[in-house]
A and B are shown apart, each in its own frame.
Chain A
């Protein structure tokens, strides 16, 4: 089945220790998104890639970066995680910018 896959599902890191989360998709979609979701809140968009074009949201901290080495794969780098960065990180894809978004299962990040 075509799907969005996120690894790992659970990640524990230490305060200030860089961490990378990954997302892959078999949907052949052009757009890949990264969202941050905190408990009982709606997902908050961090940035997206349209093909190779990176688009950062204005309020996304510099601590968050992303890479898209190929069309099927996207990475989220958190350079110096703080306690406030503990959250569920969701990857989503869509065929085009205005199309329905499909979410992966998420990575739960814990910062000690």
Chain B
């Protein structure tokens, strides 16, 4: 069974601070997705990373896929209240193992 350990589970910060969320596993993933989910809404895809060592930037968000494709991080610079939400990482294994393995999520609150 593949597991994705996501940390921290809860994070409350002030506007303007930086933060990093981590997803770690002992398993190799062929791809890893990051989603953001607001209360009462479905997860919205932020990024997909597929190559070991890959770094992708989306405005103030930086996503990194580990060299061995077992871990990933999401770094937010100068957080804003609009960044508040549940951040989910999800790993895909490809081939016949179609199921996404989800982390338990990081609930981020950015206070004005």
Contact = CB atoms under 8 A, between A and B. Distances in A.
A43 B43 contact: yes
A80 B43 CA distance: 27
Given A42-B88, A45-B100, A98 B42 contact: no
Interface in A60-112: 88, 90, 92, 97-98, 100-106, 108
Contacts of A97: 98
A40 B107 contact: yes
B97 to A, nearest CB: 8
B33 A101 contact: yes
B105 A100 contact: no
B44 A103 contact: yes
Contacts of B103: 42
Contacts of A108: 40
Contact of A100 (B31, B93, B107): B31
A4 B40 CA distance: 16
Contacts of B33: 100-101
A98 B92 contact: yes
B102 interface: yes
Contact of B100 (A41, A88, A101, A105): A101
A41 B94 contact: no
Interface in A26-75: 31, 40-43, 45, 48
A105 B35 CA distance: 13
Interface of A: 4, 6, 31, 40-43, 45, 48, 88, 90, 92, 97-98, 100-106, 108
Query: Which 8 interchain pairs have the tightest Cβ spacing?
Result: A42-B102, A97-B98, A103-B42, A98-B94, A106-B42, A105-B42, A103-B43, A100-B48
20 contacts: A6-B42, A40-B105, A41-B104, A42-B102, A42-B103, A43-B88, A48-B98, A88-B40, A98-B30, A98-B92, A98-B93, A98-B94, A98-B98, A100-B33, A100-B48, A101-B33, A101-B100, A103-B44, A103-B45, A108-B40
